[in-house]
Amino acid sequence: MATAAAQALPASMDAREWDEASYRRGILRARDFSSRTLFRAVFFDHGDDLDSDVLLAAASSDGSLASFSLSSCISAASASSQAEAAVTLVDPVCIVQAHSGPAYDVRFYPDPQQPLLFSCGDDGRIRGWRWHEMQSCLAPLSLQGDHLEPVLDLVNPQHEGPWGARSPIPENNAIAINKQDASIFAAAGDACAYCWDVETGKCKMTFKGHTDYLHSVAIRESNRQVVSGSEDGTARIWDCRSGKCTQVVHPVKKIAFENSWVSCVAIDASESWLACGTSSGISVWSLLSNECIFNLDCHAPVQDLLFDKNQILAVGAEPVLSRFTINGTVLSQIKCAPQSAFSISIHSSGMAAVAGYGGLVDVISELGSHLCTFGSRGLDK
C-alpha cells in the first residue's frame, strides 16, 4: 500500500530520493550568505590608465579576501535585472582564505613594480598578497581558497602577565599604509597601535595610551604623525618618531553621548583636516589650529568616512551614503543596498563603492546613479 501511495503522489512530492544532507548544506549556505559582512571594499586605481578594467578587493567576515572585475559585475547585474533577481551573485576573479577569523580591512601597497594587497583580521595577523596573482588567477573557483601563499605574514605581539602567562593575540581592526617609509600601521584590540616595517617584517614602534580597543587608524605623512580612533571615545595624534601622543581629540563632549566611540578617522589630501566618525555622528577638526570645526549628529552610528576633495562621504548603520561640505552642510543622501554599511571607497573617476552587511557591494556613479549591486558567492566550507 505504501508503494502504491508513493506512486500516486506527484513527482514533486516524491520523497524517496530526498537528499537530507544536500538540503542542510543549502540552508547553511543561504544563511551564511545572508549574514556575511564585507568590512572593506577598495578600488585598485590605475590612475591615468582609463582603458583598464576597474578592479575591487574585498575583505569578508568569513575570513576570505576576494578580487572582482567591475565590468563583469555590471554585466551580471544587467542580466539579473532582466531576470528580476533580488541580488546578483558574481564569481570573484580570485578568492583566498586570508584569515582564520573575520577579515576586517584591506589596503593596497602602491609599489609600481609589484603592487601588494595587505589584509588584517580577527586572528591578529597582517598578511601581504601579490596583487598580480589575485587579478589574473587561472585556477577554477572550486580549487581556490588556499592556492596562494602570502608574501608577508605579521602577527601582533602577546602581552606577558603573572607567572609567565600570555594574553591572547589581539585582533587587528584596521590598517593604514605609509608608502614614504614602507610602513604599515595597525589598530589593534589591545588598545595599542603598531608600526610594522614592510621590508624586515618587524614591529618598529608601539603606540600606547588608549584605554580601550582601537577601531581605526590614519596617517598624516607630511608631519610624520598617525591618528587612531578608539572605543574609549577619543582620537589620538601620535608622533611617529618618538611614539608619544601629542594631542587627544574628544569628538563628542555632550553628556548624552559621553560613552560614544570613535569608529573611523580620515585625513584630507592637504592633511589639514581630520574627520572622526562616532556612534552619534561626525566631528571635523582643523589640524592646523587644533580646533573643532563642527559636530554633526546623525541618525545612526557612522562606520566609515573619507574626504573627496573638499567634501566628506560617510556611511554607517543605515542604508544611506551621505555627502557633506567641510562645514557640515548635507549635500546629498543616496540610498544604498547594504542595510548597514561598513566601508566607503572612491575611485579617481568619481564612482564610489559601498560595502557592508549581507555581503553586498553597491557601486554608485559620480552623478549618484547605481551602476551595479552584487554579492560574492564566497568559499563553500
Helix ranges (H only) for 52-177 are 70-82, 131-135
CA distance linking residue 185 with residue 178, whole number of Å:
8
pLDDT score at 247: 94
Residue 21's pLDDT is 77
pLDDT at 47: 60
The residues, ordered by sequence, that sit 6+ positions from 156 with a Cβ below 8 Å of its Cβ are 124, 125, 169, 170, 171, 172, 186, 188, 190, 194
Query: What pLDDT score does 324 carry?
Result: 95
Q: CA dihedral in degrees (248, 250, 251, 254; nearest 10)? A: 180
pLDDT in tens, 260-275: 899 999 999 999 999 9
* Residue 357 to residue 340: CA distance in whole angstroms: 5
Which of 339, 332, 294 is closest to 316 using CA atoms?
A: 339
Q: pLDDT per residue over 148-165, tens digit each?
A: 899 999 999 988 878 878
Residue 321: closest CA among 307, 301, 341, 351:
341
Tens digits of per-residue pLDDT, 298-347? 889 999 999 998 999 999 999 999 999 998 899 999 999 999 999 999 99
Please report, as a single letter, which amino acid is at residue 320. Answer: V
Res. 9 pLDDT band, cuts 50 70 90: very low
* Confidence bin at 255 (pLDDT 50/70/90): very low
